[in-house]
Amino acid sequence: MINIISREKTYIPKFGGNRDLPSSEQIQVTYKAATIELKNKIVAKPVAIGDFDEAGRSRGMKVELKVDDDAYIRNMLIKISGAGFQEEGGKDVTYIRDSADLLKAPICYEPLLNELVDLFKEELNTVAIDEKN
């Protein structure tokens, strides 16, 4: 069986009423399509942590789930177009073009970051094949 896939996907965020803007003014995000490798690299896995006393006897074990939301952004986001900010009284615009820019952006962009993390989590946890037979 041969499946037709795309290596990249495009998303128009809801952030800040973005979808209501004319298409020429919208923020557009290009990201990597989900792969098994990406899923294994990014998705949190449970980690067992033992608690021992000074004599080496076990006092118990706990399981933690370490989630690194920034990893979704660093590993899946390819580019952002149409996003930027200007300092009050400034003339220069700072554009947000990639994951590094987004992670350093002013806090007002956190809802965009969270929206993208949610999208990427959904992409990595969705298994769907478009069957055209």
Domain boundaries of the chain, sorted by first residue: 8-42+68-124
Please give the pLDDT value at position 62.
81
Please give the pLDDT value at position 59.
81
d(CA 55, CA 18): 60
Amino acid of residue 49? I
pLDDT averaged per 10 residues in sequence order, the chain, 133 residues: 91 97 96 92 81 82 81 96 92 95 96 97 73 45
- State in Å, rounded, how far the first CA of the chain is from the last one: 11
Checking 17-25 for CB contacts under 8 A at 24+ apart, the result is 25/82
Residue 3: how many CB atoms within 10 A of its CB? 8
Give how far Cα 87 sits from Cα of 23, 42, 45, 92, 97, Å: 25, 34, 40, 8, 17
Please give the pLDDT value at position 4.
87
Q: Which two tokens stand for residue 98?
A: 């990639």
Please give the pLDDT value at position 44.
74
